Amino acid sequence: MGGAGRGRRVTIADVASHAQVSTTAVSKVLRNAYGVSTAMRERVRAAIDELGYRPHHAARAMRGRTFTIGVLLPHINNPFFAEILDGLMEQLGGTDYQAIIVQGGRDDTSERRAIDALVDRQVDGILMVVPLSSKARLEEVAAGTPTVVLGPHERSALYDSVHGDDEAGAELAVGHLIALGHRRVAHLGQQDLGHGRPATMLHAIRERTYRRVMAEHGLADEIAVAATAYTEEGGRRGAHELLARDPRPTAIFAGADLAAFGALAALHEAGLSVPADVSLAGYDNTRAAGLAHLALTTVDQDGTLMGRTAARLLLERVAGGRASSVRFSVTPSLVVRRSTGPPQDAA
């Protein structure tokens, strides 16, 4: 059943009769609405405390707010998402809003189901982190529920966007490797999963930028991409694929730290040392990348700030204070550690 044990639950009717006022009055006090005298407010509050009243969420949802922010995460195994969530939770801390998370999964069918679950539960706002769904689908959702999308570089009139400047980030990483003297720089990317809008997905932008920067340095012929997944296993598989080429790359730019860790495993398995034989750069600057024994060169992009900002924008939308949509871009920076160095023959 409903409450925290036996017995009928306490309703606003109970509070009302206990405080000798109407249910309307109680409702108003609960919502901090206008038109309640201080005296009445006090009486009601006292009654609420005495009776241990808790609002019935579902009943509330029937007419008004749910005080819930829904968060769509592709999968919780990526530590970068944890940072985003930390930022969101921090920003939500002072408010009455509660975050609930659903996992979108690998394909856009299961993601759709997860988003529907949020919409069905009438969350007051939705944060979609790196969604696979098409822009049309996102706008469909955004038309009904305040929405912020984190990841894709899209501008929509219906939702706010928060993302890192993936072009700048990828350029930093690839540029760094080339500046060290590398020519055969390969890339570990992610396969397109959603069938919606590859061009604006962050993995596509990182890959495209890699290709552009290579070409700009006259290295178009050296372009080598393995498109797997931004996971440890994906990185490992992709790196093996890249290392099998002849001649093999002297540097690898992984689109995500997780993939870079997988690449480290592959390099180890191939008997190659980092950075002497192969340099390796990642993306996200996850906690693990900073650990001394890994010391991964990577692109930092402050996930906490992104999460905080997304939450702020969402709360603004929920409060109804903003009609126009907004785009927030975080500028990344390169963190050079010991996983990158000049190529052997140039040393």
Contacting residues toward a copy of itself, per CB under 8 A = 1-6, 54-55, 57-62, 66, 68, 73, 75-77, 79, 81-82, 85, 89, 98-103, 105, 113-114, 116-117, 119-122, 140-141, 143-144, 232-233, 236, 261-262, 264-269, 287-288, 291-294
DSSP string, 82-146: HHHHHHHHHHHTTSS-EEEEEE--SSHHHHHHHHHHHHHTT-SEEEEES--S-HHHHHHHHHHS-
CA distances from 78 to 73, 250, 297 (A): 10, 27, 18
In the three-class reduction of DSSP (H, G, I as helix; E, B as strand; rest coil), residue 299 is classed as strand
Applying CB under 7 A, the span of 3-11, 189-197, 311-319, 328-336 interacting with DNA comes to: 3-11
Considering beta carbons, is residue 197 or 317 the nearer one to DNA?
Answer: 317
Candidate residues 34, 120, 271, 324; the one interacting with DNA per rule CB under 7 A: 34
Q: Examine residue 25 and tell whether it contacts DNA (CB under 7 A).
A: yes
Measured from the CB of residue 8, what is the shortest distance to a copy of itself in angstroms? 13
Give yes or no for a contact between 103 and 130, defined as CB atoms under 8 angstroms apart.
no
Considering beta carbons, is residue 188 or 205 the nearer one to a copy of itself?
Answer: 188
Candidate residues 5, 7, 37, 93; the one interacting with DNA per rule CB under 7 A: 37
Q: Examine residue 17 and tell whether it contacts DNA (CB under 7 A).
A: no
Give yes or no for a contact between 287 and 295, defined as CB atoms under 8 angstroms apart.
no
Measured from the CB of residue 316, what is the shortest distance to DNA in angstroms? 19
In the three-class reduction of DSSP (H, G, I as helix; E, B as strand; rest coil), residue 160 is classed as strand
Q: How many residues bind DNA (CB under 7 A)?
A: 31
Q: Examine residue 39 and tell whether it contacts DNA (CB under 7 A).
A: yes
Of 44-103, binders to DNA (CB under 7 A) are 53, 55-56, 59-60, 62-64
Cα separation, 266 vs 249, whole angstroms: 13
Which of a copy of itself, DNA, none is residue 232 near (CB under 5 to 8 Å by kind)? Answer: a copy of itself
- Which structure tokens are listed for 311? 């939450």
Q: Examine residue 144 and tell whether it contacts DNA (CB under 7 A).
A: no
328, β-bridge pairs: 162
Task: Count CB-CB contacts under 10 A for residue 261.
Answer: 21
Q: What are phi and psi of 339, to 5 degrees?
A: -85, 0
Measured from the CB of residue 108, what is the shortest distance to DNA in angstroms? 26
Residue 290's contacts (CB-CB under 8 Å, 6 or more residues apart) are: 296, 335, 337
Which of a copy of itself, DNA, none is residue 253 near (CB under 5 to 8 Å by kind)? Answer: none
Considering beta carbons, is residue 143 or 244 the nearer one to a copy of itself?
Answer: 143
Q: Examine residue 123 and tell whether it contacts DNA (CB under 7 A).
A: no
Residue that has been written with the tokens 């539960």 in this structure: 121
DSSP string, 58-79: HHHHHHS---EEEEEES-TT-H
Measured from the CB of residue 330, what is the shortest distance to a copy of itself in angstroms? 20
**Applying CB under 7 A, which residues contact DNA?**
2, 8-9, 11-13, 20-25, 27-28, 30-31, 33-37, 39-40, 53, 55-56, 59-60, 62-64
